Chains A and B, each alone.
Chain A
């Protein structure tokens, strides 16, 4: 954040005439107007309304009824799906984000090795990320179909006696979603961002390492990875925010099932808001969730000072 603030630009210089300053303010805010309207109308306003609703009982038909912190007490003590859905969300994000980062970085390093045909492979890796999410869920459900899916038919041919039921098996449902996410995600924008990061590493560093006798693995370990840490950090922060909010994949694939196995927190919020019309309780869940996500992001930013390395600063 420090570099950002530096870059935003100095405050208006004192020596400039006040007419000029007035002009800067006038046009600055003029061009900012649409965004400001959206920021207050669609973001701050609704956010505050939702904070208020979280302290009420509101079913849309009757006016909201103030009940203090009761919704927050209820979620911790009297909602049997609260902790399981939170745990499942973190289980999914905790596995899919590191695997995704590792996969994207691996592919980017592979593509950056100056091999023949990398243009072709880069396009190939990128293509799954173009498949619309709902379409890729339908495809994945078909590939992993218990009885007729090609994966299980292949496993059967290999002599696997009881291939997993994938999306219809409580234990395998989340791993199935993770495999879908990896296929659809690791070759996409995240990999492209890593490639850009790799191409920003000066060759002279590799040459210096080679002269010092570093082998290929040591060059990756001691040159590539340290210099990629800003990219890893960027992808991790955005990856976690995205993974924690997963809704469409789980909803379209399994509707949170089987037996609530993929009942992620966003499904829990959706169910209370738009199926039970408990708008007050759902707002409390949403606020609790927002605080967790914000806290996690802030913690990551603090921790990043210990492991993210900015070359040339």
Chain B
């Protein structure tokens, strides 16, 4: 999925021994091609602006004073960058605590998802057990069912077990197989690894556990990285579950905390748009950093190896 071949499209005018039969036709075609490329560049620039401006505006607004933001002529660039806004976010609300809580949940769920969805995928990809097709269809079917159906009884269960305001309800699912989508992704990836490797290892006396751990897992690294990143994004973004299960401020995740921050009564009645924008920027920053170091796992074929089925 590399798109570096920017030059390969321009080779239609290469000199050839056989002259094109209809000169005017091919010239018209080339002109038509140049026009459509011109239009494409214009469209790229316009849509690029549509995507980029709100991002720029977050950064810019987060560095302005609220008086600047609420003046009737918008300031595209802050007069004096107010870096203090960021410090003020951490002083006004326990944002550092919320970020740490989010990271804690991520630290619990990533190993859970990686380990148990690998096991599930291994089972589906490599063993011919009774009822396999039925389980597999049922697993894919879980993607169809709205989560609200299971949410209410799950809540009641955790309520009875006195686990509200703990991270157990938010993390246990990841240790029990994780999401169907990730299992599917890993299974597809495993199917693409030749079975000869397993068989060779079997002849060497390795059992299924050693084959998985020593032969397959090292080969699955790109897919496992993708799963870990997807899990990070899911938990970092998740709003509904932490919102339902956590109602003590010090336990909030960053996503729930940010929503709370919008309406939280503060000592000063000043508008807090600049602080909200700073908190939005703070929440976005870890994801952008992750993207910067692991870009190929976000937008490369690795993620999609499973979807081509």
Interface of A with B (CB < 8 Å)?
1, 3-5, 7-12, 21, 24-25, 27-39, 41-43, 45-47, 49-50, 53, 60, 107, 110-111, 113-119, 121-128, 130-136, 138-140, 142-143, 145, 148, 150, 153, 183, 187, 189, 192-193, 195-196, 199-200, 215-216, 234, 238, 241, 244-245, 247-248, 251-252, 266, 269-270, 273-274, 279, 282-283, 286-287, 289-290, 293-294, 297
Contact = CB atoms under 8 A, between A and B. Distances in A.
B277 interface: yes
A238 B172 CA distance: 25
Contact of A192 (B50, B70, B137, B303): B303
Interface in B202-218: 208, 212
A50 B304 contact: no
A183 B50 contact: yes
A113 B42 CA distance: 13
A305 to B, nearest CB: 17
A276 to B, nearest CB: 12
A192 B146 contact: no
Contact of B149 (A21, A32, A50, A128): A50
B153 interface: yes
Interface residues of B, number: 107
Contact of B123 (A28, A143, A238): A28
Contacts of A114: 3, 5-6, 8-9
A24 B127 contact: yes
Residue picked from A1, A32, A36, A118, most chain B C-beta under 10 Å: A32
Residue among B55, B153, B304 having the largest count of chain A Cβ atoms under 10 Å:
B153
Contact of A118 (B3, B70, B212, B273): B3
Given A241-B144, A252-B239, A37 B176 contact: yes
B84 interface: no
Interface string B140-155: 1011111111111111
Nearest to A41: B176
A252 B40 contact: no
A202 B159 CA distance: 55
B268 interface: no
B177 A39 contact: yes
A121 B44 contact: yes
Contact of B41 (A111, A115, A126): A115
A42 B291 CA distance: 32
Interface stretch (B13-21, B103-111, B279-287): B279-287
Contacts of B150: 42-43, 46-47, 50
Interface string B237-249: 1011000100000
A131 B51 CA distance: 12
Contacts of B236: 132
Given A35-B116, A126-B299, A196 B304 contact: yes
A132 B304 contact: no
B259 interface: yes
Contacts of B208: 27, 31
